[in-house]
Structure 1
Amino acid sequence: MIDMNPWITFVLIGLGTFAIRLSFIEFYGALRIPPMLRRALVYVPASVLAALVLPAVVFEAGQPGIDWGNPQIPAAVAAGVVAWRTRSTLLTLAVGMGVLWGLQYWLG
């Protein structure tokens, strides 16, 4: 017999996530957002991206620390410079991955 508890949990979590996201979409036009909060919301995507990327770059083998022997750090810096100068997502990805693979091959 199949245990249904995990499936019920998955469905409830999915519905909860959907309801939370739908509420922002549905109520955005109806609610009056103060100008100061509207200006602050502009920075949310960049901060979320940084929060997702930084641990993946800095944590090597599960240990935090900035070690220039970690090839992910120079690759992230190179990708950041390319993104800042060109604003090209594809070029940023290509340079970041190229530097990372090159350093991994070179450091061995």
Structure 2
Amino acid sequence: MDRQILLVILGMALVTYLPRMLPLVLLSRTQLPNIFLRWLSYIPAAVLAALLAPALFLPEGKFALVGNPYLLAAIPTSLIAIRTRSIALTILCGMAAMVLLNYI
């Protein structure tokens, strides 16, 4: 029984590791086309938008623009992020905005 569990764990580790390692090894020695590199540069912003949009616009599973504290807190937080480009200030601003909105 213990051997089967060990084999399952090793198999899962291999299945998790290989898809991450293979592209790095295979593509590390090649020069990717500029259009592909430009396309890859949009992925972080797209992932961030995909993670934030449901939390901001669907706070309780329903679309809410008015009276939505998450959306209201996101406005000054976004402005601070754009203006300062500081992760620490952005996080502090977001936390302060949420505390203020919950206090009101």
Q: Does TM, scored on the shorter chain, surpass 0.5?
A: yes
Summarize deviations over 1:10-44 as a string: whole Å, max 9, x none: 76554323211112221222334211111111111
Q: Could you say which residue in structure 1 is the equivalent of 2:99?
A: 101
Q: Does 1:26 align with 2:25?
A: yes
TM-score (norm 2): 0.80
Aligned-CA RMSD value:
2.4
Runs of 5+ consecutive residues of structure 2 not aligned to the other structure = none
List structure 1 segments (4+ residues) > 2 angstroms apart after TM superposition. 10-17
How many residue pairs align between the two structures? 102
What are the within-5 Å matches in structure 2 for residues 43-82 of structure 1? 43-63=42-62, 65-82=63-80
Going from structure 1 to structure 2, the CA distance change for 1:68 and 1:32 (only over 3 Å counts) comes to same
Going from structure 1 to structure 2, the CA distance change for 1:35 and 1:96 (only over 3 Å counts) comes to same
Going from structure 1 to structure 2, the CA distance change for 1:53 and 1:14 (only over 3 Å counts) comes to farther
3-state SS of paired residue (2:29): coil
| Higher mean displacement: 12-21 or 91-100 | 12-21
3-state SS of paired residue (1:30): coil
Summarize deviations over 1:44-69 as a string: whole Å, max 9, x none: 11211111122122222122x13231
Identity over aligned pairs, percent: 34
